[in-house]
Amino acid sequence: MLILLKNGTDHIFVHLGMISIVLLGSGNLAHHLCQAFSKSAKVKVVQVYGRNKRALKKFEKFADTTLVLTLLKPASIYILAVNDDAIKPLSMALMEKQGLVVHTAGGIHMDVLQHEHRGVFYPLQTFTADKEVDFSAVPISIEAHKKEDKMLLQDLASSISSEVYDVPSSKRMKLHVAAVFVNNFVNHLYAIGEGICQQEKIPFEILQPLIRETADKIRSLSPEKAQTGPARRNDADTMKQHLSYLENSTHKQIYQLLSESIIKNYEEKL
Amino acid sequence: MLILLKNGTDHIFVHLGMISIVLLGSGNLAHHLCQAFSKSAKVKVVQVYGRNKRALKKFEKFADTTLVLTLLKPASIYILAVNDDAIKPLSMALMEKQGLVVHTAGGIHMDVLQHEHRGVFYPLQTFTADKEVDFSAVPISIEAHKKEDKMLLQDLASSISSEVYDVPSSKRMKLHVAAVFVNNFVNHLYAIGEGICQQEKIPFEILQPLIRETADKIRSLSPEKAQTGPARRNDADTMKQHLSYLENSTHKQIYQLLSESIIKNYEEKL
């Protein structure tokens, strides 16, 4: 909210409800968050902390930057956008801060932070350098130890995204495993497909429309119901033939295990 | 090409180079092909054959239909869009036909067909009932025993798609295995993610932007290079914790095997 106060002949603009942020970290997530916050009228990134001078460079157009932890500015929220391992030690350096301290890691419990005012701000997306992300469609999972802090996080999250979910640590950590399946493991299956194409000297592009349609299909059809293929039909001849084509023994094992899992899944539901 | 012939006072239109098609099959693929061909000025579907009277209904607006194999009309190309198992027996019923006989199955060798004029017309896409497909972006892999037949298939394929690939059976059958990895197996990983969400009472929608971005990312970045996650970092603690969250023993095995495969893949490349 913008309020105009008359003070003699001067006009003073005061932003009420503006959320001030200090970002800690200079990687992909920190950079994408900084970009998204800078577009929001409700949020002000007052400072970005990082250990890598070169990585900090690209934050300079958005906010003050610092390499020195003891020079952190006061803020409503301190957001730790760092590697999982760095969360605890870095948070210890913030013990004297008055603001809310949150981390951004899907797989880490909120209580790793020892602050009275602690929370989690987990954007469920994969971020790549130099590839802009439409944050308005990124689901953000929030959590806080104190009720008023959760409201603050709700405000912060909804200033950049229309999909905000209230998810406690125990659920979020399992959600993170699900994210590993649908992102990291799926990407590895793409890499196996790419490898087969390379070996056969077929351009990988030939598989890309199929990849996109497979991802697109489940927006309207549950993956459970969308399942097709030799394993779904329990077509033993085709599976045997496919296995004979695979030269890499690990890929053979993956083919076998995933096929068995599909067969079992639909047997159980007969 | 449309040519106007004067014949006394009558005008007769003759389509030169028009490709006449008989489609055999009444499933999703046959239906999507029929829709795509019907939009092309170069192709005429003269007849659709199927064994299921009800399934044939929806083809009536595009072409004549028949339930009787002995009543097939003459055509330039007979396209078998049927289950893998049905290809051989159905093709035997076409031994007397003059036209080119092709199947549409990624995993079946061309020579399963015993016609002099034989070939393969394999659209590399997954087709769902009631979900329209933009065929112009569907890669079509073609093959023919005779050179002139391959040119005919090239014409047919390029009348509905801008991505036509010339792929012999031996390569195509391996490409089909790659398609199983990036489509059927990927979908199963989506289903595992959906199952975890259901168990935790979190809407599956929360994972969908991540799923889309994972598929989208590899248009500009090779999946090999796009790999992230605990296994890529060889983060043993996180992997151990994730395994402890998984209750289903097959899902545990999948987590373990895919993680090992990722670790091995990047170790080998050090």
CATH assignment of A173-268, given 1.10.1040.20, 3.40.640.10, 1.10.760.10, 3.90.1170.40? Answer: 1.10.1040.20
B13-57 pLDDT per residue, tens: 444 579 999 999 999 999 999 999 999 999 999 999 999 999 999
Average pLDDT over residues A186-215: 97
- What's the rounded Cα separation, in Å, for the pair B234 and B267? 10
Mean pLDDT score of chain A, rounded to an integer?
92
Nearest residue, CB atoms, A171 vs list B179, B200, B226:
B200
In total, the C-beta contacts within 8 angstroms joining chain A to chain B are 303
Which residues neighbour A140 within 8 Å (Cβ) at sequence distance 6 or greater?
A: A121, A122, A123, A124, A157, A160, A161, A163, A164, A165
Judge contact between A120 and A103, C-beta under 8 A. Answer: yes
Q: What is the pLDDT of residue B186?
A: 98
**Amino acid sitting at position B242:** H
Strands B19-24 and B77-80: parallel
Note the pLDDT tens digit of each residue in A69-117.
999 999 999 999 999 999 999 999 999 999 999 999 999 999 999 999 9
pLDDT of residue A10 exceeding 50: no
Contact A261 B251 (CB under 8 A): yes
Q: Is it the case that residue A194 has pLDDT exceeding 60?
A: yes
- Average model confidence (pLDDT) for chain B? 92
Determine whether the interchain pair A190/B185 forms a contact, defined as Cβ–Cβ distance below 8 Å. Answer: no
Decide if A183 and B229 are in contact by the 8 Å CB cutoff.
Answer: yes
Asked whether residue A6 carries a pLDDT value surpassing 60, the answer given is: no
| Token reading at A77 | 């929220």
Q: A1 vs chain B: nearest CA distance in angstroms?
A: 30
Give B101's strand partners. Answer: B78, B118
Residue A52 has pLDDT above 80, yes or no: yes
pLDDT at B132: 84
What is the pLDDT averaged over residues A250-258? Answer: 98
Asked if residue B107 lies in contact with residue B87, where contact means CB atoms within 8 angstroms, the answer is no
User: 172-191 in B: which are within 8 Å (CB) of A?
Assistant: 173-191
State residue A16's pLDDT score. 56
Cβ-defined contacts of A125-129 (< 8 Å, 24+)? A125/B209, A125/B210, A125/B213, A126/A183, A126/B210, A126/B213, A126/B214, A126/B217, A126/B228, A127/A28, A127/A29, A127/A31, A127/A32, A128/A28, A128/B217, A128/B221, A128/B226, A129/A28, A129/A31
List phi, psi (to 5°) of A77.
-135, 135
Q: Is A162 on the interface with B (CB under 8 A)?
A: no
Q: Which amino acid is at A50?
A: G
Give the confidence band of A1 by pLDDT, cuts at 50, 70, 90: very low
Instruction: Tell me if chain B has a CB within 8 Å of the CB of A27.
Output: no
pLDDT tens digits along B143-183? 999 999 999 999 999 999 999 999 999 999 999 999 999 99
d(CA B111, CA B96): 17
Q: Are B120 and B143 in contact (CB under 8 A)?
A: yes
Tens-digit pLDDT profile for residues B243-262: 999 999 999 999 999 999 99
Return the DSSP state at A164.
E
The secondary structure element, H or E, covering residue B165 is strand B164-166
The domain made up of A2-167 is a member of CATH 1.10.10.10: no
Name the band, by pLDDT with cuts 50, 70 and 90, for residue B128: confident
Question: Which DSSP state fits A142?
Answer: E
Interchain pair A262, B226: CB under 8 A:
no
Q: Give the residue extent of every domain in chain B.
A: 2-167, 173-268
* Cross-chain residue pair A209–B179, CB shorter than 8 Å: no
Check A210 against B167: CB less than 8 A apart: no
Question: Which residues of chain B are within 8 Å of residue A206 when distances are taken between CB atoms?
Answer: 124, 139, 141, 163, 165, 175
Cβ–Cβ of B217/A128 closer than 8 Å?
yes
A positions 68-87 inside 8 Å of B (CB): 84
- Chain B CB contacts of A176 under 8 Å are 242
Q: Which residues of B touch A217 (CB under 8 A)?
A: 126, 128, 131, 187
